[in-house]
Amino acid sequence: MLTLEDFLFKMSYRILNRNFFFCRNNRKGYWLKYLSPLILIFIFSVLTFHCRKEAVLESHAVPSHNQFQFYRPDLKTDAEIKKYLKSNLIFRFGLQSDPLLNYMKKLDGKEIYSFYSPTESDKKTIQFSIDLLPPLIKQNLQERVIGIYFINHFISTGYTDWVIGHDGKIYSVILINPDVFKMNVSEILQKREKTCFQSNSSSVKIKIHAGKQSAFDYILLHEAVHSADYSHRISDIDEESYNQIKPFIKRKFKPVDTIWNSSNTPYKHFDFQNRENISFYGFRKGPHLTLDQAPDLYADLQKSPFASLYGSQYKVEDLAELVTMYHLSIIQGNEYAIEISSPKIRMKIHPLQSQKVKKRISGIRFFYSVFPEK
């Protein structure tokens, strides 16, 4: 059965072709030559309106926490939303929402969660980090991120979720643990890496070298890549409601598509032993790995196409880590290395120097372009 847009498209095609031949072969029908464009404009106007309406109707099947109004019920009209999205980004940092806080408390089982308001010093750090973002990431942050929330005692370092607007566009919200203001990038990555391994009496030590700049630089870029990923529909997100948003047109993106067979499984020749057991922050009932397994794990990471163990878990995390570590290391000139040591072993790996990682670098230059907002 034809949908309305299919029917209208077919009719416009027939009108255009029939009138063209009629006008060419019948002088009395010459006036149709001028009428045809008007007919087509009308049909495509109806078509455009219907497609927009379909995208809006699909949003009713989306969970409330993935809807624009859940976060910003005060923005009711297109004019209000457009004005808000053109406002200074700094005012979107540190927003507070009781429905969001209650939702996250229930989701993570953490009644201790509370909102954090950034200090004047924090705001300077935020602005500095915004200025350092790649062009497309910064543009997407301005046009598609509707709020950045800081949550005390947050279980992880950051989290980004997609949001459907009543205009059918994909927006995002970002949640960040304010501890990032107290740490540098090396320290925050070191803290995260420890959650991947069980605490035991192993003599193996892991140290991450990733620069002394604010950890906020890292987490803002990492989460903002997730937002751009959602907006440009690069990764296959394993959420039924997200994939039902119409029209669904997945962007072809070689740096990701050639590596991953599914959302959490790379192609066999890119996989490595124990990758499926990698987990962080206690998610998936982890950690499942011991520190004694770390040397072999990092040796395999060095030969893989992934920028970090964290990125090797899922397609969406792979993209975020690849872009983030490339930008902080290659573009900004910070060292990125992982040192593993014990009385018997001493090794230092540089994930971005892997030949498989290097082959992916040219593709992520996509994030250094700017696209006109539709």
What is the pLDDT at residue 251?
A: 76
What is the pLDDT at residue 57?
A: 36
pLDDT (average), residues 86-91: 95
- Does pLDDT of 245 surpass 90? no
Per domain, the residue ranges of the chain are 4-61, 68-368
What is the pLDDT at residue 62?
A: 81
What is the pLDDT at residue 88?
A: 95
- Does pLDDT of 58 surpass 90? no
Summarize pLDDT for 1-29 with one digit per residue, the tens.
444 443 443 344 344 444 433 344 444 44
Among the ranges given (215-219, 264-268, 366-370), the one the predictor scored with the smallest mean pLDDT: 366-370
Summarize pLDDT for 272-315 with one digit per residue, the tens.
999 999 999 999 999 999 999 999 999 999 999 999 999 999 99
SS (H, E, C) the chain: CCCHHHHHHHHHHHHHHHHHHHHHHCHHHHHHHHHHHHHHHHHHHHHHHHHHHHHHHHHHHCCHHHEHHHHCCCCCCHHHHHHHHCCCHHHHECCCCHHHHHHHHHHHCCCCCEECCCCHHHHHHHHHHHHCCCHHHHHHHHHHEEEEEEEECCCCCEEEEEEECCCCCEEEEEEECHHHHHCEHHHHHHHHHHCCEECCCCCCEEEEECCCCEHHHHHHHHHHHHHHHHHHCCCCCCCHHHHCCCCCCCCCCHHHHCCECCCCCECHHHCCCCHHHCCCCCHHHCCCEEHHHHHHHHHHHHCCCCCCCHHHCCHHHHHHHHHHHHHHHHHCCCCCEEEEECCCCEEEECHHHCHHHHHHHHHHHHHHCCCCCC
| Band of pLDDT at residue 235, cut at 50, 70 and 90 | confident
- Does pLDDT of 323 surpass 60? yes
What is the pLDDT at residue 359?
A: 95
Average pLDDT of the chain to the nearest whole number: 85
| Nearest Cα residue to 104 out of 179, 188, 178, 161 | 161
In the chain, what percentage of residues exceed pLDDT 90? 71
More confident residue, 7 or 208: 208
| Band of pLDDT at residue 194, cut at 50, 70 and 90 | very high
Report the phi/psi class of residue 75: left, alpha or beta, with left for phi > 0 and alpha for psi in -120 to 50. Answer: beta
pLDDT (average), residues 250-256: 85
More confident residue, 31 or 191: 191
Summarize pLDDT for 94-127 with one digit per residue, the tens.
999 999 999 999 999 999 999 999 999 999 999 9
Among the ranges given (47-61, 224-238, 241-255, 268-282), the one the predictor scored with the smallest mean pLDDT: 47-61
| Claim: this prediction has a pTM higher than 0.85 | no
| Band of pLDDT at residue 360, cut at 50, 70 and 90 | very high
pLDDT (average), residues 25-51: 47
- Does pLDDT of 39 surpass 60? no
pLDDT (average), residues 205-211: 97
